[in-house]
Amino acid sequence: MFESLTARLGDIFDRLKRRGALSEADVETALREVRVALLEADVALPVVKDFIERVKGDAIGAEVVRSVTPGHMVVKIVHDRLVETLGAASIGLDLAAAAPVVVLIVGLQGSGKTTSAAKIGRMLQERDRKRVLMASLDVYRPAAQTQLAVLGETAGVPTLPVVAGQEPVAIARRAHDAARREGFDVLLLDTAGRLHVDADLMDEAAAIAAATDPTEILLVADSLTGQDAVNVARAFQDRLKLTGIVLTRMDGDGRGGAALSMRAVTGCPIKLIGVGEKIDAIEPFHPERVASRILGMGDVVSLVEKAAATIEEADAARLQAKLESGGFDLDDMAAQLRQLRKMGGVEGVLGFLPGAAKIKKQVADANIDFKILARQEAIIGSMTKRERKNAKLLNARRKQRIAVGSGTSVPEINRLLKQYMEMESMMRKMRKLGKRGFLRNLPFGGPQFPR
Amino acid sequence: MAAAAVASRGLLSRLKAGLARTSDRLSGGITRIFRGRRVDPATIAELEELLIGADLGVATAARLAASLAREKIDRDVTVDDVRAALARDIAAILAPLARPLPIDPARKPTVILVVGVNGTGKTTTIGKLAKRLKDDGLVVHLAAGDTFRAAAIDQLKIWGERAGCPVLAREQGSDPAGLAYDALVQAKAAGADVLLIDTAGRLHNRTELMAELQKVLRVLRKLDPEAPHVRLLVLDATTGQNAHQQVETFRGMTEINGLVVTKLDGTAKGGVLVALAERFGLPVHFIGVGEAIEDLRPFEAQAFADALVGLDRSEAGGNP
């Protein structure tokens, strides 16, 4: 999500790292480039200025100048400041109030409020075992209330029945009554998208807040937002006493400067991030990880978590058993290909790794076909069971049949087999070494897990 | 505010309304920098920052500031001089972009595919555009190709009713390419002038979703090798520099040949469009300045540039 900025700062600090000593002028040069990089990353100008000033105050000093590795020192200072600006720790939703706890969701049009509402509803219900009721107060956009109802059905979260022609504040009151009467723990109120400069609609949002006394007022904002992020955040904060921010579309390739801007302007924590279109694609915000990624240090923690969640226990245990017995066949290779694909393919994995922004760019420049994983799966899928157990059976005629079946070519099959042979021999070597290092050495030419 | 009052206000005033509300926008910033000061390296640097703050991007901001410096350096200028010079330079960049939607009455139908990232306003734009084209006397068909988002189909149907245009829709989750194909068959048979095809919002870095759009293009071309004649990308004016990646990827993968910029009634003035114009030169057919059906307006370079820098021609008229 922050790859572009990572690449940029990586370049700058590469330059710094190559120098023995760091002068004040060096700090100035580096920070000028950090400044441009942050601006290009859509961090709002006032936030950038403030940030650079603080970093400069820290960086220009005897400690840095006398430091053995001045580049690293600057990286650390910038990193610490980034984390500080983003907020020190990830904070969950505050549900410590008398039931029904009201969570009000506000934001601009198209920021992803309704989708986020459904995701939050499902999360609270599944993870926190709360009884959640959702209600849409959007009486303006055609079919908005239907959208939440449909999403609620998908997520298994009940929604307030729609009464045509009712005003938003009245719907909010009805929802509150229903939630109280029917013993719900949490009431999620999804509101209409509104411009922060639309006085009438901002009044309406304030009236809804006054009528329902929400414990959480969440501003849903698009992480692709530009310089305007500060204006939007400030306007909502002035009017509504926000308690948190939900950043959507963090799975995009936006540089995410809006995260810094909104956090700095409102002082509200970024509580959750939306990372995909699926109903469970919502995650806590981790400032440390984001700051690390900005600085090209890689989001290692996320990678490990993702790997742990993706590689199914059973599959892993089966592979482990295979390892011990020494038999690694093409079925096992297919299982590994699937796991790698689930983790977001080579590109997805690369994005998490330290210094990977650069590699990723090189990979992109080299024009490597990432569909190769799927094609390789198709090749294995076109083999018979016997062939998959025993690759030695594969003669020229069989290969031709497989090529036709999988829509590939014989050379591609040969490449796959060569890779399989390499993996197989590596597996044998690893067996000799013992179980250790199974995860660390997923035998692909590509990603190696962090140590 | 009353709907009538909204409708009666001109485009420029609608665009400028946001500016007036927030003092540190581009317009107010220019006043702050240049009131009683000369054009010198210090004021130019401040101007550059101000332009970056309006999403013009570092490179474009630097070029515009440098252009002003070359022309006016060390001269006393009025705030309006600065505004006028900036507006002129920006309008010059934008002018080639202001082109009408290429609808050829001989085509029957001209097929318009509308694509973009989630939440930029595709369905709403189609609704407004349908009304507009219908009012021009054209026969317009709609295809509810966003089969992913909950209730997007209902949303387009309601717009279709408002505009009085037939909408081809299937249940949620059906294949958008198949729907587009059938919609084109029907539109051809009915002798429609325009077919507007909605698509689900998608992040441009999701390769599999972009491939889905490519399939829509391929399938339409089986019926008409030229279709879809217009591939419109809908951009949200609040988007920052990521708009570059959006345009680049959508252009590369779905051959977009036109833009619509929405949500210009907020405080974001779509400054990124200036940088996009320099880099891609794609025509901008419409801008969205509000929620009402008539708030989709043709793009005018000068008006846009004036609004961006806060130049009011009726007031500035007396100054050189």
HSE of A2, CA atoms in CB hemisphere, 13 A: 30
Of A184-188, A265-269, B175-179, minimum mean pLDDT range: A265-269
* Inter-residue contact A141 to A107 (CB < 8 Å): no
Residues of A with Cβ-Cβ distance to B240 under 8 angstroms: 42, 224-229, 254, 257-258
Residues of A with CB below 8 A from B1's CB?
199-200
- Choose the weakest-confidence range: A405-409, A429-433, B155-159, B199-203: A429-433
Name the nearest CA neighbour of A285 among A296, A276, A274: A274
> Do A147 and B263 lie within an 8 Å CB cutoff?
no
pLDDT at A442 (0 to 100): 42
Tally of CB atoms within 10 A around A366: 7
**Is residue A15 pLDDT above 60, yes or no?**
yes
- Contact call for A150 and B151, based on CB within 8 A: yes
Please tell me whether residue A368 adopts helix, strand or coil conformation.
Answer: coil
Give pLDDT, residue A300.
43
Shortest Cα–Cα distance, A287 to chain B (Å): 21
CB–CB of B272 and A196 under 8 A?
Answer: no
A440, pLDDT greater than 50? no
Q: Hey, are the CB atoms on B150 and A147 less than 8 Å from each other?
A: yes
In DSSP terms, which residues pair with B167 in a beta bridge? Answer: B142
* Rounded Cα–Cα distance for residues A257 and A42 (Å): 5
Structure tokens at A156: 């298994």
A142 to B159: CB separation less than 8 angstroms, yes or no:
yes
Do B21 and A197 lie within an 8 Å CB cutoff? yes
Over residues B208-229, the mean pLDDT reads 93
CA of A410 vs chain B CAs: smallest distance (Å): 26
Which residues are bridge partners to B284 per DSSP?
B98, B259
Domain A101-297 has CATH 3.40.50.300: yes
Cβ partners under 8 Å of residue B165, min gap 6 = B130, B134, B140, B141, B142
Q: Is B290 on the interface with A (CB under 8 A)?
A: no
- Give chain B's mean pLDDT: 87
How many Å apart are CA A95 and CA A242, to the nearest integer? 15
Where do the domains of chain A lie? 3-86, 101-297, 303-445
Three-state SS sequence of A257-322: HHHHHHHHHHCCCEEEEECCCCCCCEEECCHHHHHHHHCCCCCHHHHHHHHHHHCCHHHHHHHHHH
Q: pLDDT tens across A154-184, in order?
A: 899 999 999 988 999 999 999 999 999 999 9
In this prediction the ipTM stands at 0.79
Q: What is the pLDDT of residue A451?
A: 28
CATH number of A303-445: 1.10.260.30
| pLDDT in the model for residue B23 | 34
Top pLDDT among A90 and B93 is at B93
Q: Which residues pair with A272 in a beta bridge?
A: A246, A284
> How confident is the model at residue B112, as a pLDDT?
97
- Alpha-carbon distance A150 to nearest alpha carbon in chain B (angstroms): 6
Grade residue A34 by pLDDT with cuts at 50, 70 and 90: confident
What's the rounded mean pLDDT across residues A62-87?
66
Residue that wins the pLDDT comparison between A429 and B275: B275
* pLDDT one-digit tens code per residue, B32-77: 888 888 888 889 999 998 898 888 988 999 999 999 999 888 888 8
In DSSP terms, B234 is beta-bridged to B260
Residue with tokens 């474009």: B60
**pLDDT of B180 over the 50 cut:** yes
Least CB–CB distance from A224: residue in B49, B53, B239:
B239
B55 to chain A: which residues are within 8 Å by CB?
42, 226-228
Number of A–B residue contacts, CB under 8 Å:
146
Q: Which residues of B touch A227 (CB under 8 A)?
A: 52-55, 240, 268, 271
Q: Identical fold at A101-297 and A303-445?
A: no
What kind and span of H or E run contains B95? none
- Reply yes or no on domain A3-86 having CATH 1.20.120.140: yes
Closest CA of chain A from B209, distance in Å: 11
Give residues 52 to 71 of B whose Cβ lies within 8 Å of A.
52-55, 57-58
The whole-number pLDDT of residue A197 equals: 81
| Mean predicted confidence (pLDDT) in A184-198 | 91
- pLDDT, position A436: 45
A177-186, A437-446, B31-40, B214-223: least confident range: A437-446
Q: What is the pLDDT of residue A4?
A: 46
Stated pTM of the model:
0.74
The 10s digit of each residue's pLDDT in B120-167 is 999 999 999 999 999 999 999 999 999 988 888 999 999 999 999 999
B5 touches chain A (CB under 8 A): no
For the CA atoms of A371, A372, A378, A379, the dihedral, rounded to the nearest 10 degrees, stands at 160
Could you tell me if A367 and A20 are in contact, meaning their C-beta atoms sit under 8 angstroms apart?
Answer: no
Residue A331's pLDDT band (cuts 50, 70, 90) = confident
Question: Taking CB atoms and an 8 Å limit, are B266 and A228 in contact across chains?
Answer: yes
Average pLDDT, integer, range B262-274: 87
* Both structure tokens of B176: 């958008």
B265 touches chain A (CB under 8 A): yes
Question: What's the average model confidence in pLDDT over A83-108?
Answer: 86
